[in-house]
Amino acid sequence: MAEGIDPAPRRSGPTWREFLTAQAEGIIARDFVHIDLVDLRRVYVLVFLEHGTRRLHIAGVTARHSGPWMVQGARNLAVEWGIRADSLRFLLRDRGAKYTESFDAVFAAGDIQTVRTAPRLLG
């Protein structure tokens, strides 16, 4: 290269799809779903999906989601799981500002590592 910097080498590790397939039993992902009600109000649902079983957990529904509300939803889910959480190793989540250190700490307490998705470029 003209700048004296070679391109980064190709990674020899697994692709994202290979990682998800190999670790499916130990992965849980979280997301928000919004629902528009008949009276035109919008509510947000915090959901978690176990990749291995395709089991969906609803952790809470609210009209206004916030960092503290999300932490409480994570705690509720941890209580619901109880001993089953031992089989989970990774939590997939985006980089949203409402995911605070306290949210991640709920899962870290159960030895679940938070994996944030790559940032998306808008354009």
In the predicted model, what is the mean pLDDT of the chain?
A: 82
Phi then psi for 33, rounded to 5 degrees? -125, 135
Mean pLDDT of 47-76: 89
pLDDT for 6: 67
Domains (ranges, CATH) in the chain? Answer: 24-116 (3.30.420.10)
Q: What percent of the chain has pLDDT over 70?
A: 82
How is residue 3 annotated by DSSP?
T
Contact 24, 16 (CB under 8 A): no
pLDDT for 8: 61
Which amino acid is residue 106, in one-letter code? V
Give yes or no for residue 26 having a pLDDT over 90: no
